[in-house]
Structure 1
Amino acid sequence: MDWHLPYFILAGLLVALLAATLMLARAYLSLKRAHAALVAKVAQQQNDLIGLSSAAVQVDQRMLNQERRLREYEEKLASLSQQDTSYQSYRTAIEKLKGGVAPQELVSQLGLSLSEANLLAHLYAERQD
């Protein structure tokens, strides 16, 4: 019977080794699936990052366009503001003409040219008729 004992031990070790191999195979397959899932997630995140980068570039372009348009509008507003100032000086000149001021006095008071002052006086005189 002594010679059967080592065979039982050897058979037990063989069964244990087989069970361990099966457990390792299952763990390997589980890790392989987890690795594939992680690779897919990394690929998805890379695609998301590419999309976000593209969107950021488009947002930057829109912002640059908006800033350009804002500068254009500011320039137009400044131009209109200057036009409004000259309009106010003409309006002041007309009011002074209504008050009886001579065109020569408008030249010295408001900085208008003599031809502008005469034109305003002529136009105002036509409106009075």
Structure 2
Amino acid sequence: MKILRFVLHLLQMGLLYGIYLMRDLYANHLGFMRNVSFYSHKFAESPLGRQIFLLPLVLVIVAGWLAFKKRTIESFLLLSMGLFFLGWQVGVGLEQIPIFYLVSGLLFLIFLLQLLIVLSKKGVHHGVFTRNY
């Protein structure tokens, strides 16, 4: 299981690097920029695009429940990632960042990988924040 968690952490780092690559692609390739702009505005106008902030809200609730149940460093990291994702969805918009939905998708994938890491770990008895009686 430690190898699986290590691989998942490497995938998370790769997705963080993917955010940089998307920004670079958007800045340097006109065709990519046109497609991203068209589909981002089309998605923003859709009913799902207007309600997308509900997804990180649900994820924060799930992460809070897992942090309360498991009490491990990974679950608290999951909660902080969920809060960051929620802040990203509420505080930043398509007007400020043209690749907003691409970055949101990558943040969602990073959150899901962290969720897999949390679910693969043991519960409270093996956590960092527990007392040994």
TM-score class, shorter-chain normalisation, is: under 0.3
Structure-2-length-normalised TM-score:
0.23
Q: Which has the higher helix share?
A: 1
Structure-1-length-normalised TM-score:
0.23
